[in-house]
Structure 1
Amino acid sequence: MANKYKYLIAHIKKLPDGSFDRPHFLEEHLERTAKLTAENCADFINYKVPLILGYLHDIGKASDAFQERIRIKSGFEAEEAHLEGKSAQHVDHSTAGAQLSAQKYDLLGILPAYIIAGHHTGLPNGKSSEESSLYSRLHKEVEAYNNILPWLNSKLPDINPKDFMPKNHHYNSTLTPYQFQFLIRMLFSALTDADFIDTEEYMNPDKTKQRGSMATMEELKKSLDDYFQIFLNKKETFVNRKRNEILKTCILAANEKPGIFSLTVPTGGGKTLSSMAFAVNHAIKHNLKRIIYVIPYTTIISQNAQIFRDLFSNLGEDVVIEHHSNMEPAVETAYNRLATENWDAPVIVTTNVQFFESFYSNKNSVCRKLHNISRSIIVFDEAQMFPPEYLKPVLRVLNELNKNYGCSIVLCTATQPALNKSKILADGLDNVKEIIEKPEELYKQLKRVHIKILPGTTSDDQLIRHMEAYEQALCIVNTRKHARELYRALSDMHPDNSCFHLSTMMCPQHRVDELEKIKHELSKHKPCRVISTQLIEAGVDIDFPVVYRAMAGLDSIAQAAGRCNREGLLTSGNVFVFQPKQKAPPGHLRKCAESGAFTLKKYRTDPLTPPAIEKYFQDLFGKSDLDEHGILQLCNSQLDEIPFKEISEKFRFIRQTGFSLIIPYGHGKELINSLRACYEGRVPMELRRQLQRYTINIFRETFMAMAPVIEDVFRDGQFYVLLNDDIYDEKIGLNPDIPEFIKTESLII
């Protein structure tokens, strides 16, 4: 039976004058999406399976029910064509393609069926009783789509098992279950991105034009070379000479074949610039597409991204994309879905959370960029920060990217964890190549501090008295509460503004401003005592003569030591490790502190040597479940039983999700006004990026307690703004004593 509509519409939009634009016809959309999907996959698989995905993904739109609906209720936001979790409100137009894939290609069609079924609502579980599972979708009754079948049959290719093999597959054997689910994610990403881009080209052609062309790796190299001429001519000191040697070693090592590398350099040895030099030169040598720089904390991502923007400033702002979990909108809309980053830029700066959760997520907005990671060089700064409870799934991602998707991996750290295959770590990395020939010798040459362990347990009063002996000192503790209490006690003794506090309860711009004040005081040799959480341990270029560190993992102690005598201008700096009365938070941090204390006893004279660090990680990994949530077991399910949704829910680096709160600090007030002025909540990506500098994360309990003084700007959970200035303190940031400050009369509307 023929469908009643001759012309099939995929999308339609209204023009500003109220008239309708030319429709985006379905055959055009399927053809273009198929072509783009194949292009997105060109680096890792042949064109046949990607074409099937593109041609089948929206064939349900050929049904009379969908065509009726789109003609009655038109307009992009009204249609919400790409909203996860919204499809139940509309005509299901993805199940039809999944069913046709399974019918036409039998078992080979199951893999495309997952992707087609999930391209709007997210990759489904395979077999389960829920209606959204692939099994249920394949047995669901769908609307007829006969009109498009003759055209479709002329387009769909024949396939065989070899068409599912990645181009870089190193073995003659078939793919393992893990590799199949990984391939599904990469193909899912390719289809999602292609679908978004073709939709965007119709809905928002101006935005498409803005994407433009990328700077080349050769252009990046020229900018780097120009900068390094300045870098190499810096003031002649022993530390600077060593930094120059490390830089030259990295540039030379870039000629090595693609693989997995480690870069073991003591803190303050210039890892950031040297690793970027390696990455650019390695990318040119082996024709890699982009550099992805992955860091452990959102707290330092803006700082690192700015370093790279400064390096490549002559190439424009868009050469570097900064993308982390805080930048994801809390609520998906059709507009912000199209604004989601697809990592189509030469340099990406992101976080461990954003990078690894993307490989185990089932959401299309999160997975969209995955295909662009193929043939990249991926640099992990502070590689020791991989969470032990997810270590096996994390390392499996790195091995798979290297083996089958043409990626080179660089693990940068001052304290290289034992990530190679071993008895403790059977799923470890294969054939890791160290860039620095003799890391232990380099450690001895760049040793600038003595580690001293204070005996027994140290109370806050004892700690403050100890700090009083030094005009300039940094103290790093394990919790925000402890940092706040210490700061208040210390500042009461020094009401002359010579004490400073740093924590994640201060928005990034506030922390930057405080760090500038701290650096100024240090440079003028004025009294300066700082209490901080561990946020200062990574990526912060600051130099104290004395550092105190609450008992922690040996890697954290090494990072703290990197803020002491950083430039080597003293004969030796002092790092005091103390056991506070407050225990480290339960879970990972407490295990790290226990392993740190154990290793310090064994290597008391010099606890930061490479052998000591290796012993520390062996002890830590030995007492940890390295796949605590059973991710790999789930990923090894049979092809028709892969629980994508369940995996996505279980693979969360941060278990307790929070809320992003925009703070009216400094320029943040103007940005908040710009936010409020955005039409229908359509917030440009550039404004999102700027707002990140004025955003903090708070847990749900805090959010609920603060509800009376929080504005939900668009009343849809996208953006929350703090209304009451009294709650945000100029020294400690968000004040924890929230109830004292929630007063209706002090609300600023």
Structure 2
Amino acid sequence: MVKIRYIAHFSASEKQEPHYLDEHMKGTYFQARRFSHTFDRYGITSIAAIAHDLGKKSCAFVQYLKADKKIRGSVQHAIGGVIALRDILQEVQDERIIMAAAIVAGHHTGMPDLNTVFDEKIPDAPPYLKAIPELSQTEMQMIKDILKRFPGLPLGGKSDSKSSFAYKEMLMRMCFSALVDSDFLDTERYFDYGKSIKRQGKAFSIQQLDEQLQNYMLELRREAQDKEINRYRNEVYMACREAAKQPLFFRALVVPTGLGKTLASIAFALEHAKRYNKKRVIVALPLVNIIDQTARQYQKVFGKASVLEQHSQLSYTDDKGESMERARLAAENWDSFPIIVTTTVELFESLFSNRTSKVRKLHRLANSVIILDEFQKLPIHVLAPIFQALHILMEHFNVTVVLCSATPLSFKNTELVGNMGTPVEIYENRNQLFASMKRVEYSQIEKPLTVSELVARMKEHPAALCILNTRKDAFYVYREAIRQKANGQKLYHLSNRMCPDHRKKVIKQIKEDLQKEKPILVITTTVVEAGVDLDFPTVFRAMAPIDSIVQAAGRSNREGKLDKGKVFIFELIGGGMPGGMYRKGTEQTRILLNHHGTVVLHEPWIFEKYYRSLYTLGGDDLLDSYGITSLKPFSFEKASRLFQMIDQNTVSILCKNYQDEDGQIERLIRMYKEAPYLTKEWYREAQLFAVDEYVDSSFFRENQNQLEKISQGWYIWHGDYDMKTGIKDMDEGGD
């Protein structure tokens, strides 16, 4: 009897042998086992790897491979493996088969809700897949052997607790990630072996990275002046080193701005990783401008080969070298880089997504240290599902979570969220540290100010930063400052009316002027509140949520050059205010300051009171507005659709008339007009020159004649762009 050798993939090159199904299955199987062996003790990933392409044995797929013209996706194959697994389930009742079936069903299109796999996917399958079990007896026996060889899942059946369901959901997500990534990599090796080689890098080990950091810090201390602030920085750094030795996996680092939190937290992570078998460090931040700054600092210490920077505004086309190509490929699955710097949006939307492109990287979370910097900026409306997911990762996947902030928060409020409990603080005497590091003096201006009065007050100070709550307010205050002709002070405007490339250049110029002690006034929205290392003697802050006020204060007397910086809190007559929790937080802050005075902004207890009041005001669904934690277990597709860190009701607008220096915008527009389709790289590069806007804003509604649609969610702005303030006429809305 002649044994048929089935084909998984076929190259267009006549010189290349087909990618045989048995070879692809083995390649995917061993890769998936390597990715999942630390968290999948039950063989789920192995079962899925064997079954994932069994549908390619169908006569329809064989004919598809022989066809001259192939339409990708015209012949189904994924459900073939599911049908084979259903036949095994009829013989062996084991929930691992059901879980593997969902993984197989979604390995191209996204993981479906578990209850739809057998009830909807199989009945809808084309007839040509019904013969797959008969053609796959060898593979089905291998799967039965795995079921015997690996232990069954704990706490099976309908009596499962909610926490057990949450664990199994996360286990499925991680196994799905391991399979999808392995399938992709093995296929890539066949079609483009050169690309596969480019993924391999020369990153240092965790041990080597820690040695580099220690040498760097030694040099820093040698060069540092004997100032109080440097002594505090060293204290915080050494506290992180000591705390990392303890087997505690939920930690917090809360220290004042300017005390080297970025390097101290990575010191904790590397020391901890060495001792507790962690493979990588993932640093997630809320804002892109912070990521850029943090990644540059880490790359300076560890080199670009060890630090992957990933966010929407990073263009991998700027550098055509091997290192940039490796980084571009690694952004897909976080491979080969021991330190990842990304956004909290990317991290958590990937964690709740069912899409293959998003979940490829998830299995890299196992055995890692996750640093959530400026964690207080995590959106309240999804805190419950986020904390539940983090809890599961800590409990079952050898993950350590570190919450970092420069705001003196109380962690008693974490008890209100999920089962996380309270983190153990790394720097135990932080209240005393905050008391010693009072670098600013808060004052609340009693009488509400007009725009004109605000500008007049600002002009009394040679260098001042003014932070407003909306773009409209920032624009009007900037315009009034021009009208009043500042006292020899250079004027700057910053807001999300300006594209990221523009803002970055303006911030660089502001830093240079501050360094030279030039007289300047900077009028901005909240875009500078976290992660932008500006140091002004005086800051004006419109009334805002308490954490935003403290963040703004971090832009004053940052380096401790003055006895005290000045922070003025004011109400703007006719000033705008973003809605939702920002408005509620502002109202609560106003009440607290009116009752206690600004002196309490130095007291940690006020933050506990503030957040408790805020959580109470928000109602039962405040921490889970989309009901993610209440969904029926294993509702992967629904959770993916519902979970949103930020409002998705926005579009990106490419600023055609922004004066970029290298002609990148012109090239992007030319590519849009000439290319058959737009690549991920195109969108990533275009994001540098784009402004986001709500689709229900008056600007978007009233300027359709100036907007050219590129694709879903993307437009070109043909109107004016001011090199001081950004898109003209975009005066409404907030940041």
TM above 0.5, one fold?
yes
Structure 2 letter corresponding to 1:99: I
1:602, distance to aligned residue in structure 2 (A): 4.0
Give the whole-Å Cα distance in 1 for the aligned partners of 2:9 and 2:329. 14
2:453 is aligned to 462
Structure 1 letter corresponding to 2:28: T
3-state DSSP class of the match of 1:457? coil
Which has the higher mean CA deviation after the structures are superposed, 427-436 or 396-405?
427-436
Give the whole-Å Cα distance in 2 for the aligned partners of 1:398 and 1:45. 18
Give the whole-Å Cα distance in 2 for the aligned partners of 1:391 and 1:355. 14
1:28 paired with 2:26, answer no
1:535 alignment partner, one of 499, 502, 527: 527
3-state DSSP class of the match of 1:411? strand
1:614 is aligned to 608
- For 1:416-475, what per-residue CA distance to the aligned partner results, in whole angstroms no more than 9, with x for missing partners? 5445577x7152523511001111100011111111111143322221121121111001
Q: Superposed, which structure 2 residues align to 1:530-609 within 5 Å? A: 530-580=522-572, 581-604=574-597, 605-609=599-603
Structure 1 letter corresponding to 2:122: L
Number of positions where the alignment pairs a residue of Structure 1 with one of Structure 2: 694
1:137 paired with 2:121, answer yes
2:10 alignment partner, one of 9, 12, 25: 12
1:256 paired with 2:254, answer no
Q: Superposed, which structure 2 residues align to 1:260-659 within 5 Å? A: 260-313=250-303, 317-324=304-311, 341-344=332-335, 345-420=337-412, 425=416, 427-494=418-485, 498-580=490-572, 581-604=574-597, 605-624=599-618, 625-634=622-631, 637-638=632-633, 642-659=634-651
Distance 1:278-1:49 versus aligned 2 partners, 3 A rule: same
1:743 is aligned to none
1:104 paired with 2:88, answer yes
3-state DSSP class of the match of 2:416? coil
Give the whole-Å Cα distance in 2 for the aligned partners of 1:400 and 1:433. 18
1:746 is aligned to none
2:142 alignment partner, one of 155, 159, 164: 155
Structure 1 letter corresponding to 2:119: Y
How many percent of aligned residue pairs carry the same amino acid? 33
- For 1:121-157, what per-residue CA distance to the aligned partner results, in whole angstroms no more than 9, with x for missing partners? 11213446xxxx6520133344223674133134223
Which has the higher mean CA deviation after the structures are superposed, 542-551 or 574-583?
574-583
2:319 is aligned to none
Give the whole-Å Cα distance in 1 for the aligned partners of 2:154 and 2:184. 26
Distance 1:29-1:623 versus aligned 2 partners, 3 A rule: same
Which has the higher mean CA deviation after the structures are superposed, 401-410 or 624-633?
624-633
3-state DSSP class of the match of 1:474? strand
Which has the higher mean CA deviation after the structures are superposed, 353-362 or 555-564?
353-362
Structure 2 letter corresponding to 1:584: M
2:323 is aligned to none
For normalisation by structure 1, the TM-score amounts to 0.85
Give the whole-Å Cα distance in 1 for the aligned partners of 2:686 and 2:287. 17
Give the whole-Å Cα distance in 2 for the aligned partners of 1:338 and 1:247. 34
Extract unaligned runs of 5+ from structure 2.
Answer: 317-326
Give the whole-Å Cα distance in 1 for the aligned partners of 2:701 and 2:601. 44
Give the whole-Å Cα distance in 1 for the aligned partners of 2:662 and 2:596. 48
Q: CA RMSD in A?
A: 3.2
1:524, distance to aligned residue in structure 2 (A): 2.5
1:350, distance to aligned residue in structure 2 (A): 1.2
Give the whole-Å Cα distance in 1 for the aligned partners of 2:423 and 2:416. 14
1:204 is aligned to 192
1:747 is aligned to none
Extract unaligned runs of 5+ from structure 1.
Answer: 80-86, 167-171, 330-335, 740-749
1:48 is aligned to 43
- For 1:551-576, what per-residue CA distance to the aligned partner results, in whole angstroms no more than 9, with x for missing partners? 11111111101000111111111111
Asked if the contact 1:451/1:606 (under 8 Å) is kept, the reply is no
Give the whole-Å Cα distance in 1 for the aligned partners of 2:10 and 2:695. 39
Give the whole-Å Cα distance in 2 for the aligned partners of 1:175 and 1:499. 55
Asked if the contact 2:706/2:717 (under 8 Å) is kept, the reply is yes
Asked if the contact 2:245/2:275 (under 8 Å) is kept, the reply is yes
Asked if the contact 1:710/1:722 (under 8 Å) is kept, the reply is yes
Asked if the contact 1:217/1:284 (under 8 Å) is kept, the reply is yes
Give the whole-Å Cα distance in 2 for the aligned partners of 1:230 and 1:8. 61
Give the whole-Å Cα distance in 2 for the aligned partners of 1:732 and 1:600. 33
Give the whole-Å Cα distance in 2 for the aligned partners of 1:623 and 1:466. 35
2:110 is aligned to 122
Distance 1:519-1:380 versus aligned 2 partners, 3 A rule: same
Distance 1:470-1:74 versus aligned 2 partners, 3 A rule: same
3-state DSSP class of the match of 1:616? helix
2:78 is aligned to 94
3-state DSSP class of the match of 2:625? coil
1:405, distance to aligned residue in structure 2 (A): 0.5
Asked if the contact 1:13/1:74 (under 8 Å) is kept, the reply is no
Distance 1:125-1:476 versus aligned 2 partners, 3 A rule: same
Give the whole-Å Cα distance in 1 for the aligned partners of 2:3 and 2:69. 16
1:224 paired with 2:213, answer yes
Asked if the contact 2:535/2:556 (under 8 Å) is kept, the reply is yes
3-state DSSP class of the match of 2:232? helix
Distance 1:387-1:173 versus aligned 2 partners, 3 A rule: closer
Structure 2 letter corresponding to 1:599: L
Structure 2 letter corresponding to 1:365: S
1:733 alignment partner, one of 702, 726, 730: 726
Q: Superposed, which structure 2 residues align to 1:173-188 within 5 Å? A: 176-188=164-176
2:53 alignment partner, one of 42, 46, 58: 58
Give the whole-Å Cα distance in 1 for the aligned partners of 2:711 and 2:442. 51
Give the whole-Å Cα distance in 2 for the aligned partners of 1:260 and 1:43. 20
1:656, distance to aligned residue in structure 2 (A): 2.6
1:294, distance to aligned residue in structure 2 (A): 0.7
3-state DSSP class of the match of 1:379? strand
Which has the higher mean CA deviation after the structures are superposed, 413-422 or 33-42?
413-422
Give the whole-Å Cα distance in 1 for the aligned partners of 2:513 and 2:611. 37
Structure 1 letter corresponding to 2:206: M
Distance 1:20-1:602 versus aligned 2 partners, 3 A rule: farther
